[in-house]
Amino acid sequence: MPSPLFGKAIPVLASLDLPRTLAFYRDILGFEVHHFAHADYGIAQRDGTELHFWKCPDRHIAENTSCYLRVPDIQAVHAELRDRIASLADVMHTDWGMDELVVFDPDGNLIKFGQARGE
């Protein structure tokens, strides 16, 4: 069998303020973060998930960007975040068989966590 041609996808999201953005991903979402100030670039990693951030002066770009993270236990994610995010809604049960949780970062990027129902 031939080797796969594609590897892991890594979203690159807009950040209006890299230190603030990375602090949110570290302090609220529990990621380990790295800031490359000389390149206006940042990376957040957690449990095999990696997100990248580029400095962007246009909030409109961030507010029209999203990222979908599949998780093995959506209820555990909700339980971890509910005390850190006052506006966190309950887990939604979609018509397409996913249980989902929505979080907006400080720049307006939509981060959606999802687990296939029954997994």
Instruction: Decide if 93 is inside a domain.
Output: yes
Tell me what pLDDT residue 1 has: 77
| CATH code of the domain containing 108 | 3.10.180.10
Give the C-alpha separation, 106 to 53, whole Å: 13
Tell me what pLDDT residue 118 has: 83
Chain segment 23-45, per-residue pLDDT in tens: 999 999 999 999 998 999 999 99
Q: Give the residue ranges of the chain where pLDDT is below 50.
A: none
Q: Are 52 and 12 in contact (CB under 8 A)?
A: yes
Tell me what pLDDT residue 119 has: 74
pTM given for the model: 0.93
Domain region containing 100: 12-116
